[in-house]
Each structure stands twice: as structure tokens, then as C-alpha cells.
């Protein structure tokens, strides 16, 4: 007897198969809704180009670093000059500054990592190091007194004004409201094909660059952005090769 008929006759009071199907569909819908979208959650390359042209003052080196290394806001705020290797073009993430302005180690062992810098960033930081306010903590991006910079200041006085001036705005307000948008851009830039201006890095390398504790976290967040190398032409060529043997 079908499950639906059994329920109608009172033999059973739950359709477990239907409930499982609904849960599966709900989980799939939640995953689709939670996916990061370029142009909504992730700045496009054109938007980043426009923003780069409007970065000014002491916000410029900080936001350039966010764009080209993908460091978290807490990692940027806690970054020391001692962990910036300008000669090798590397940043070493060894500490962070939390929302209470307390310096501590990254949240996980994977958070401690080395991230390469492009030459344009290394040159910018080399100039900034000479002008950077000095403080006991030796921070690379301190406030004007040499202390830990406020997260809200970075957003409201640095990132948002640059967006508005660059025209990356909706109804006159900055389109992206948090620094995580720049981290997402960095991830997408690393993932994109070289032909499209990206680095085309594999998932495991991405995990290390972003400081994720597991490859699952990387793929759950950015897996849908990886290019599908099995496009029509490649698939047709592969199939033709098999028939030609």
C-alpha cells in the first residue's frame, strides 16, 4: 500500500520519505541562496579598478593589502612590520587584533600563514613604512597615534568613501559594507582563469592563502566560483579522441 494511502487510513501518521525529500530540497535551496555572487557580494574586477584609483592617504596601503592578500580585517589591524618581508614580497600572519583591540594569535593553526604580495603592493608598503605612525606595537596599519586602528574607521572613513568616489555605489551609498567583500574578491581573483586575469590557483593552495582550517570550508564558500574546465569544446575533443583510438 502506498505511504500516502496508509496515512489517509490512519495506519501511519508520518511520511518519512516525503519529509526527507523536503529537508533535502530545503538544504539545497539554502545553499543556493547563500552562494556568493559576483557583483552582489564580491566586487567585480571593474569595480576594484575604479576603487584602486580612488584610494588615498593612509587608507591606501591598508586597502591595497586587503585587496591583494585577502587578509581578514582583524589580521590587517594586527599586522606588524616585523611580519612584513618586503625583500621577499611576503606577509606572515602571526597575530590579529579583535574587536576589543586585544592582540592575540589567529583563531586557528591554519590562520598562521605566509601570503605572497605582488610587486605593486610591496612597493606601496615600502613607501608607507617611512610615513607610518610609530607605536609600541610596531603595527603596519595603526591609527594616527600608532595604536590599533578601529574596524569601524576603516569601513566608514576608508573603504566606503573610496567606493562612493569611484562610483561603486547604490543610491549614493557604498555598495559593499564590509571588508570581507575585499577578501571575497581576492579569493575570486585567485580562482579565476589566467586568461580572465586571475591566478588560476588550485583549491588546496587557496585554502592555505585564506587561512581556512579545512578544504571543506574553502570549497563550501568558493567552490562554485572555480571554472568548469569540462566545457563543450574540451568535452567534444576528449570524446573524439576516444573514438579515434
pLDDT for 26 equals: 44
Per the structure, the complete domain to which residue 137 belongs is given by 45-225
Residue 236 in any domain: the answer is no
pLDDT for 16 equals: 57
pLDDT for 228 equals: 72
Residue 28 in any domain: the answer is no
Residues in the chain: 245
Pairing of strands 84-85, 103-104: unpaired
Residue 165 in any domain: the answer is yes
Residue 24 in any domain: the answer is no
Backbone torsion region of residue 171, taken as left when φ is above 0, otherwise alpha when ψ lies between -120 and 50, otherwise beta: left
Residue 33 in any domain: the answer is no
Residue 238 in any domain: the answer is no
Domains identified in the chain, total number: 1
Pairing of strands 173-174, 169-170: antiparallel
Residue 123 in any domain: the answer is yes
Question: Residue 201 maps to which CATH number?
Answer: 1.10.443.10
- The CA-based dihedral angle spanning residues 27, 30, 34, 37, taken in that order and rounded to the nearest 10 degrees: 100
C-alpha cell at position 169? 555605489
Residue 54 in any domain: the answer is yes
pLDDT along the chain (245 residues), means of 10: 56 59 50 80 97 96 98 98 97 96 93 96 98 97 97 97 98 97 97 91 95 95 83 63 62
Amino acid at each position: 500500500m502506498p505511504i500516502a494511502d496508509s496515512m489517509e487510513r490512519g495506519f501511519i501518521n508520518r511520511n518519512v520519505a516525503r519529509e526527507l525529500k523536503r529537508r533535502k530540497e530545503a538544504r539545497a535551496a539554502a545553499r543556493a541562496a547563500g552562494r556568493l555572487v559576483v557583483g552582489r557580494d564580491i566586487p567585480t574586477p571593474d569595480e576594484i579598478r575604479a576603487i584602486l584609483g580612488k584610494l588615498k592617504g593612509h587608507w591606501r596601503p591598508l586597502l591595497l593589502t586587503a585587496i591583494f592578500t585577502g587578509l581578514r580585517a582583524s589580521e590587517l589591524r594586527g599586522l606588524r612590520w616585523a611580519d612584513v618581508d618586503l625583500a621577499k614580497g611576503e606577509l606572515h600572519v602571526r597575530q590579529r587584533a579583535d574587536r576589543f583591540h586585544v592582540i592575540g594569535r589567529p583563531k586557528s593553526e591554519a590562520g598562521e600563514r605566509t601570503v605572497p604580495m605582488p610587486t605593486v603592493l610591496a612597493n606601496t608598503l615600502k613607501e608607507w613604512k617611512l610615513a607610518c605612525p610609530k607605536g609600541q606595537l610596531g603595527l603596519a596599519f595603526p591609527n594616527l597615534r600608532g595604536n590599533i586602528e578601529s574596524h569601524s574607521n576603516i569601513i566608514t572613513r576608508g573603504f566606503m568613501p573610496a567606493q562612493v568616489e569611484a562610483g561603486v555605489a547604490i543610491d549614493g551609498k557604498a555598495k559593499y559594507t564590509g571588508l570581507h567583500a575585499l577578501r571575497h574578491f581576492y579569493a575570486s581573483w585567485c580562482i579565476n582563469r589566467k586568461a580572465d586575469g586571475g591566478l588560476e590557483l588550485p583549491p588546496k593552495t587557496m585554502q592555505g592563502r585564506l587561512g581556512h582550517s579545512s578544504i571543506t570550508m574553502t570549497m563550501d564558500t568558493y567552490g562554485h566560483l572555480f571554472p568548469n574546465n569540462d566545457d563543450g569544446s574540451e568535452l567534444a575533443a576528449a570524446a573524439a579522441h576516444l573514438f579515434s583510438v
